[in-house]
């Protein structure tokens, strides 16, 4: 027993990695479903979008890249369905150079499911370099910052963009953010200055930084990581007029739960072994 406890503390890290890989691959290959409850942050996100009148333009900043796709892609996908199902008119921008090839095909695909026309029901302004400066300019003058859309069409010629000059012309801003520039910069440069209602979706790592914004009602809704995306996805899928789409968030959440159980198990046995052997001496010497 004693040797076993000591050997636990000197466990080869590769065994831990193999265990982690199994805890991820097994539930993916043998899917199961665990129950989960929708948090108030995510419920608020859904309710705020539901409260928007039909035909209202919504500014969506999709600032994620391949590395943050697992966490933010389910939210983005569900959000697209939510927008088009509610007949809202999203205007997409992105501040990350790797985002357009990811989001543009999905926007077109989802819009075609709901028979929406480009320029009338949705617009993609594309990517602009400049990070926080671009956000500042979106707040002040959108046509100056984006004279053309992603396809090279002058935005002045797009029907949907008539009357939209700056961020405060939108009734709502949704920032889907993987880091910098993202929710924090939008809150600083647009929400705080123009009091624009704003919703955020972020990665789990940056979640704790944005909770104070939700508490102070600077963010009216907040979705954090895979759990937030999965909950929002479930709410959108339960709507009547939404076209069916793959629930990638819910699938990932089940895997996430199992891998966390594995981590908790490791923490518990690691601590148990440590406390049991704290006053003992290892025969092989310190490991």
Partner 1 sequence: MDPVSIYEIIGVWVSIFLTLTVFSFLYDDNPIYKLSEHIFMGVTIGYGISESYWGVFKPNLLDKLFVWEDGQFAGESIYFLALLLCVLLLFKATSKWSWLARIPIAILVSAYAALKITGETTAKLMLQLQDSMPDLHTSWNRHGIWDWSNDGAGVFSDTFLVISLMAILLHFYFSKIPSKTEKWGYPLAGIFFLLCFIACFFLSPLQDSLIGSLIVSLSLASCAAMPFLAISPARKSLSRFGVWVLMLSFGASFGFTVMGRVSLAIGRAQELLGHNMSTERAEQVMPQTASFVSLLVIAISLFWWSRRKKDTEIACRLSLQQWAFSSFRFLFGFGCKASMNLCWDFGLCRWESRNFGSLRSI
> Which element (helix H / strand E) includes 225?
helix 225-237
**Which CB, 114 or 262, lies closer to partner 1?**
262
- Among residues 93, 187, 235, 236, the one that binds partner 1 under rule CB under 8 A: 187
Quick one: the chain helix, strand, coil %, rounded to 5? 55, 15, 35
Closest CA to 83 of 234, 197, 241, 231: 241
Give CA separation, 67 vs 36, 82, 96, 134, 233, in Å. 25, 24, 12, 23, 20
Query: Whose structure tokens read 């939210």?
Result: 75
- Toward partner 1, which CB reaches closer, 55 or 208? 208
Does 269 bind partner 1 (CB under 8 A)? Our answer is no
Pick the closest to residue 190 from 55, 61, 44, 88 (CA basis).
61
Piece of the chain touching partner 1 by CB under 8 A; list 78-86, 157-165, 209-217, 236-244: 209-217
Q: Is 112 in the site for partner 1 (CB under 8 A)?
A: no
Q: Does 282 bind partner 1 (CB under 8 A)?
A: no
Question: Which of 73, 84 has the CB closer to partner 1?
Answer: 73
226 belongs to the binding site for partner 1 (CB under 8 A): yes
44 belongs to the binding site for partner 1 (CB under 8 A): no
Give the per-residue contact string, 9-28, with partner 1 (x = CB under 8 A; - = no): ----xx--x--xx--xx--x
Phi, psi of 53 (to 5 degrees): -70, 155
Give the Å distances, CA to CA, from 177 to 118, 245, 279: 24, 22, 48
Binding site for partner 1 (CB under 8 A): 13-14, 17, 20-21, 24-25, 28-29, 40, 67, 69-71, 97-98, 127-130, 132-133, 136, 185, 187-189, 191-193, 203-205, 207-208, 212, 215-216, 218, 224-227, 246, 248, 251-252, 255-256, 259-260, 263
């Amino acid at each position: 027993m004693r040797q076993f406890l000591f050997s636990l503390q000197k466990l080869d890290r590769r065994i831990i990695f193999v265990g982690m890989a199994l805890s991820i691959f097994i539930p993916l290959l043998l899917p199961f479903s665990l129950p989960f409850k929708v948090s108030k942050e995510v419920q608020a996100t859904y309710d705020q979008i539901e409260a928007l009148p039909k035909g209202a333009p919504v500014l969506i900043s999709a600032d994620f890249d391949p590395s943050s796709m697992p966490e933010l892609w389910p939210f983005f996908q569900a959000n697209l369905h939510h927008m088009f199902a509610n007949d809202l008119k999203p205007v997409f921008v992105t501040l990350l150079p790797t985002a357009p090839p990811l989001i543009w095909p999905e926007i077109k695909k989802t819009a075609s499911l709901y028979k929406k026309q480009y320029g009338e029901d949705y617009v993609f302004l594309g990517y602009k370099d400049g990070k926080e400066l671009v956000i500042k300019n979106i707040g002040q003058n959108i046509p100056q910052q984006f004279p053309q859309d992603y396809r090279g069409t002058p935005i002045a010629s797009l029907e949907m963009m008539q009357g939209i000059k700056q961020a405060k012309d939108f009734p709502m801003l949704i920032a889907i953010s993987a880091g910098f520039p993202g929710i924090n910069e939008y809150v600083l440069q647009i929400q705080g200055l123009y009091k624009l209602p704003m919703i955020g979706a972020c990665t789990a790592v940056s979640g704790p930084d944005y909770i104070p914004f939700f508490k102070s009602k600077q963010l009216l809704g907040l979705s954090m990581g895979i759990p937030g995306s999965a909950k929002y996805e479930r709410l959108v899928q339960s709507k009547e007029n939404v076209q069916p789409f793959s629930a990638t968030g819910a699938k990932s959440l089940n895997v996430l739960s199992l891998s966390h159980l594995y981590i908790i198990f490791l923490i518990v046995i690691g601590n148990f072994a440590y406390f049991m052997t704290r006053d003992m001496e290892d025969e092989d010497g310190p490991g």
